[in-house]
Amino acid sequence: MDVFAQLAEAVRRQNREGELPDFIVPLLLRVADHPAEFADREELVATLVKYVEEYQTWSEMCCEKVGYSLEDIHRTLDRMKVRY
């Protein structure tokens, strides 16, 4: 499975079974569904896979960071020029 398919699968699973909010799903699937557009940024796509798989709503609520937050995901999407 390539990194784009991994991202699509992780987004759908985390949205369905985890706590990934509905409003971020279209942006992430835009990346996953357009591999030709983002082919030169596969490293950032792999980062998104990691962030989505380890997404935690409470990741920054204590003195140490556990998991990844929407801010981490948005920062990576911004680097890829993917916006609302």
Per-residue model confidence as pLDDT tens for the chain (84 residues) = 899 999 999 999 999 998 999 999 999 999 999 999 999 999 999 999 999 999 987 655 555 666 899 999 999 999 999 988
pLDDT at position 55 is 94
Q: Note the pLDDT tens digit of each residue in 51-69.
A: 999 998 765 555 566 689 9
Helix (H, G, I), strand (E, B) or coil at 10: helix
What's the CA gap between 29 and 75, in Å, rounded?
16
Q: Report CA torsion sign: 21, 26, 31, 34.
A: positive
What's the CA gap between 24 and 72, in Å, rounded?
12
What's the whole-number average pLDDT of the chain? Answer: 92
Residues 6+ apart with CB under 8 A from 76: 44, 47, 48, 51
